[in-house]
Amino acid sequence: MPDPLPTHAGPFALGTFRAAGGPFPGLVTGERVRDLSDQVASTRALFEDWDDWLPRLAALTDTDGTWHDLADLEVLVPLEPGQILQSGANYRKHVVDLVAKEKASVHGATPEEARADAERMMDARIREGVPYLFLGSPRALCGAYDDIVLPERGEQHDWELELALVIGKSGRNIPVGAAMEHVAAYTVSNDLTTRDRLYRPDLKAIGTDWFTAKNADTFLPTGPFLVPAAFAGDPHDLRITLRHNGVVRQDESTKDMIFDIPMLIAYASTTTTLRPGDLLLTGSPAGNGAHWGVFLQPGDVVEGEITGLGRQRNTVRSHA
């Protein structure tokens, strides 16, 4: 465990941990963790009947059972999701920066012209557009303190810290006004991308190669905790902060989302049935490595945190 210990909003949080006896679902209360394996088979199983489990978990914070010191445990990926839905281009400043840079470099516009045009595009997208979603692989997941292992191919390995939510109620074609009823908990995810493998020069007409660029093993550090939505505060007013080797690279509020959480859930559910335990990432703010011209190298340390949800600390190493 890192020092000092990560903290969470509210009276308790959830996660998956490993002690000498093996992995177990855990109820986190500050610096202590209650083993929930006498209650449930896995952390994900809690979300199958979330409305029933939430008050029961609150009662368990004051009961006997097997308790551990958090500092003595290995923090694992907090749950095994059913599916992972990821949001692209969902922070206004981030997208404006990207579009303006392209227009200035490719189309010859002045920086001021390029930025004004990009801002107009984003305003139109907010009024008339829809979210951009794609699927991620659960096998890309790793824990909040695990090493990030750079794949053999590619060189521009980038960070993208994001607010993620856990679905706690099934639904299809969910109305925007009812969408937040389907959110059980929130967590932290770092949706890493190998930029120079995102576009296939041999298949330009097809476009982006999300599978290769985003789904390498360990490319989705997630956790440390799952904080119940009832304790997390306003998810559209949380601070996302990422440090790369101690330098702050991302520092933005979730207020800057283009499409808010209800819209993301409603849009996703027009295509797929959302089920308990599904993970939905809400997009990453400005400040990734491509913006700074800096990419991950072996030995780097990436630290990410979101208000009330705890923090991550991952060391980068080579595949070799």
Contact between 196 and 288 under an 8 Å Cβ cutoff? The reply is no
At residue 5, the 3 state secondary structure works out as coil
At residue 15, the 3 state secondary structure works out as strand
Please give the CATH architecture assigned to the domain spanning 84-90+133-317.
Alpha-Beta Complex (3.90)
Identify the CA nearest to 13 among candidates 45, 52, 61, 80.
61
Q: Compute how many other C-beta atoms are within 10 angstroms of the C-beta atom of residue 158.
A: 21
**Tell me, what amino acid is at 112?**
E
Contact between 179 and 262 under an 8 Å Cβ cutoff? The reply is yes
Rounded to an integer, what distance in angstroms lies between the CA atom of residue 151 and that of residue 296? 11
Contact between 226 and 6 under an 8 Å Cβ cutoff? The reply is no
- CATH code: domain 13-75 is 2.30.30
Residues 6+ apart with CB under 8 A from 114: 99, 100, 101, 103, 104, 107
Rounded to an integer, what distance in angstroms lies between the CA atom of residue 15 and that of residue 25? 6
Residues 6+ apart with CB under 8 A from 55: none
Q: What is the CA radius of gyration of the chain?
A: 20
pLDDT tens per residue, the chain (320 residues)? 766 777 899 999 999 999 998 999 999 999 999 999 999 999 999 999 999 999 999 999 998 999 999 999 999 999 999 999 999 889 988 777 776 666 555 566 777 777 777 778 777 787 888 999 999 999 999 999 999 999 999 999 999 999 999 999 999 999 999 999 999 999 999 999 999 988 888 887 888 888 999 999 999 999 999 999 999 999 999 999 999 999 999 999 999 999 999 999 999 999 999 999 999 999 999 999 988 999 999 999 999 999 999 999 999 999 98
Rounded to an integer, what distance in angstroms lies between the CA atom of residue 212 and that of residue 200? 10
Rounded to an integer, what distance in angstroms lies between the CA atom of residue 171 and that of residue 272? 9
Contact between 33 and 19 under an 8 Å Cβ cutoff? The reply is no
CB burial of 39-70 (b: ≥16 within 10 Å; e: otherwise) equals bbebbbbbbeebeebbeebeebeeeeeeebeb
The domain ranges of the chain are 13-75, 84-90+133-317, 91-130
Identify the CA nearest to 160 among candidates 267, 281, 56.
281
Interhelix angle 111-128/92-106, rounded to 10 degrees, is: 130
Contact between 196 and 150 under an 8 Å Cβ cutoff? The reply is no
Contact between 92 and 127 under an 8 Å Cβ cutoff? The reply is no
Q: Supply the pTM of this predicted model.
A: 0.93
Instruction: Write out the H or E segment, with its range, that includes residue 37.
Output: none
pLDDT at residue 208 in the model: 85
pLDDT at residue 102 in the model: 62
Residue 115, both tokens: 């930025």
